[in-house]
Amino acid sequence: MTVQEAQWLDRIISTEDLHVLFQPIVDASQQAIYGYEALIRGPNTSPLYSPLRLFEVATQTGQLVELDLLCRRLAIRRFAKLELPGLLFLNVMPLTIVERDFKEGLTLGFIRESGLPAERVVIELTEHVPIHDYDLMRQAVAHYRDMGFQVALDDLGAGHSSLRHWSELRPDFVKLDRHFISGIDQEPAKREFLRSILDVARSLDCQLIAEGVETAAEHLCLWELDRGLALLQGFYFARPSQHPPLQLNMLLPAATQLKSPAGRTARSIYRITEAVKPDCAVPLVAERFRQYPGLRCIAVVDNGKPVAVVRRNAFLTLFTNPYSHALYAKRAVLDVADSRMLVAEADMLLENLSQQLTDSHDIEQEDFVIVCRDGHYLGMGNIVDLLREITAIQVRQARHANPLTGLPGNIVINETLAAYLIAEQGFAAAYVDLDNFKAFNDAYGYARGDHVIISLSRLLQAQVESVGGFIGHVGGDDFMMLLPLAHWENVCDQILYSFELIAPGFYEETDREKGGIQIENRQNKVAFFPFVSVSIAVKPIPDGASYKALDIAAELSELKHQAKKMPGNSLFVERRGNNVAGVKK
């Protein structure tokens, strides 16, 4: 530290001469901005323009707490002035929390002055010095949460003991250091590491944010690696700016790659394996196999497109006698390569790839070639990786399924709805709810109530799957359907008609004769409740329409209330032009 730097720091703090920049955090599943991280820069002409140097000098002069609080106040004020949407991720030094803010409530005072609700602020713990007193730090974090703040841990994997921080403080968000994101599309080890971290995050009910996404390939790899990783940040989306974008002005590449709402593609399992040209000498290929014992298969590529493969075991059997080297010394690899190979496009769903492998009886299946949409070589795939990914998908689907019906739960519902919107192909979103179900549950008990829900789920599943739609179980007696535009009306009609036929069978004979049950209502008065019935609220989404998943969910909730106002099995549809029509079936 120089005298000039110390003087500059005093001047910066006294005049509050700092610039606040914001970098968006993107929610890839919603194709929207989730929030912004506030970043600080010193004056352009000063030696303390860099935030790293700025805070280093503040630490050395004993002014770290004062500088940190100033940065926090300026960031909150600027965020409110720009009226930025979403959450504000506010970098905070742990030392500041335990020394002053915990005792004095300074951050809460800052946001009250700005008019921001505490629920929109995330305290992002940034390490410059290690944490020594975890008991005090846990108290401080709990204090923040009591005030409504959420807590994030910054740069997992890069700090003093960030894994222990995660374990001790149980943050709402963890930001993964960019080291693990850079080049992840080309490094299988990083993908395996991230899978493990995602499992930990889910078990702790914590959201993971990937920092430092700089290329389309990195983003696409993160998307296909696991759909649970939706929050992303990096130069690929936007650089830090004093006037950041208010919305995401780009179609994320994962959207254009998506073929099915539920599946991952072959791109998620390919490994970059250097190919050889058709005229490559056989001895060179032999030497390569010797150098890399784990190499099982090499593609032969001509003008960028695969024409054959060389499989390790078959190739090495050529050299089992003393004359082999002389026999093949001047031969080209294409002379000994196998033109029978399985080629899969990178966009092919893993389920379809598995089926293709199963159907390929005359081709050795252990390794296969993966190509771009135009047929150009990308890399090699292996059946072990394929089986691992499919197993992971099945485990995840089971984890997020509703335990009563086995249907996909809310996480998968939200992801699938977002995927339908990304595809920009028209569909109808429908919300299904039971009427008079609470009264039935109270009269007959939860076991009989569960039987009604299971029966409805089987009816919905049969009708929805017959037209290639999606059915999910929101919870309780609520379900979500996503249906093709050409078939939604017929599906809804069949559901209403069929449920009206089966509903009386849920009741005892005496209640069937009366057409329902008499039971004490919430006002402690005996009331009559007809048979349980189904209300369906439908919102058709035309081709190319621009909607957000959260907006659709909110509109369907309102439409559902309208449908439930009509007695009996009913259908309520939102028509284009805000004309709403109700139809009783």
Whether 10 is in a domain gets the answer no
What is the distance, to the nearest Å, from the Cα of residue 313 to the centroid of all Cα atoms in its chain? Answer: 40
Q: d(Cα 243, Cα 263) in Å, to the nearest integer? A: 37
Kindly give the interhelix angle for 437-444 and 446-465, rounded to the nearest 10 degrees: 140
pLDDT at 186: 79
Does residue 371 sit in the same domain as residue 414? no
Does residue 287 sit in the same domain as residue 247? no
Tell me the sheet residues that pair with 208. Answer: 174
CATH of the domain at 379: 3.10.580.10
Does residue 309 sit in the same domain as residue 425? no
- Domain carrying residue 406: 401-584
Task: Please provide the average confidence, as pLDDT, over all residues in the chain.
Answer: 83
Whether 262 is in a domain gets the answer no
Tell me the whole-structure pTM to 2 decimals. Answer: 0.48
pLDDT at 279: 94
Contacts of 97 (CB under 8 A, 6+ apart): 123, 125, 137, 140, 141, 144
Tell me the sheet residues that pair with 377. Answer: 371
Domain end call among 226, 256, 286: 256
Does residue 491 sit in the same domain as residue 563? yes
Does residue 251 sit in the same domain as residue 375? no
Does residue 328 sit in the same domain as residue 208? no
Whether 282 is in a domain gets the answer yes
Domain end call among 368, 390, 412: 390
CATH of the domain at 187: 3.20.20.450
Does residue 380 sit in the same domain as residue 406? no
pLDDT at 449: 92
Whether 9 is in a domain gets the answer no
Whether 87 is in a domain gets the answer yes
Question: Which tens digits make up the pLDDT trace of 326-384?
Answer: 788 889 999 999 998 999 998 888 878 887 887 776 667 689 999 998 999 999 998 88
CA proximity to 539, closest of 422, 430, 460: 430
pLDDT at 254: 40
Cβ(224)–Cβ(265) under 8 Å? yes
In this structure, what DSSP letter does residue 568 have?
Answer: S
Does residue 166 sit in the same domain as residue 64? yes
Does residue 410 sit in the same domain as residue 344? no
Domain end call among 206, 234, 256: 256
pLDDT at 578: 47
Does residue 408 sit in the same domain as residue 336? no
Whether 50 is in a domain gets the answer yes
Other CB atoms within a 10 A radius of the CB of residue 522 amount to 7
pLDDT at 18: 92
Number of domains in the chain: 3
Whether 6 is in a domain gets the answer no
pLDDT at 129: 52
Whether 151 is in a domain gets the answer yes
CA proximity to 132, closest of 161, 174, 92, 91: 161
pLDDT at 269: 85
Q: d(Cα 445, Cα 456) in Å, to the nearest integer? A: 17
CATH of the domain at 483: 3.30.70.270
Does residue 449 sit in the same domain as residue 571? yes
pLDDT at 103: 60
Does residue 330 sit in the same domain as residue 413? no
> Could you list the mean pLDDT of each consecutive 10-residue stretch along the chain, which spans 585 residues?
86 91 86 89 89 88 88 93 92 74 74 87 75 75 84 70 74 88 84 84 83 81 65 90 83 41 70 92 91 91 94 86 78 91 88 79 79 92 85 70 86 84 87 92 90 91 88 91 92 92 92 90 81 93 80 81 84 65 47
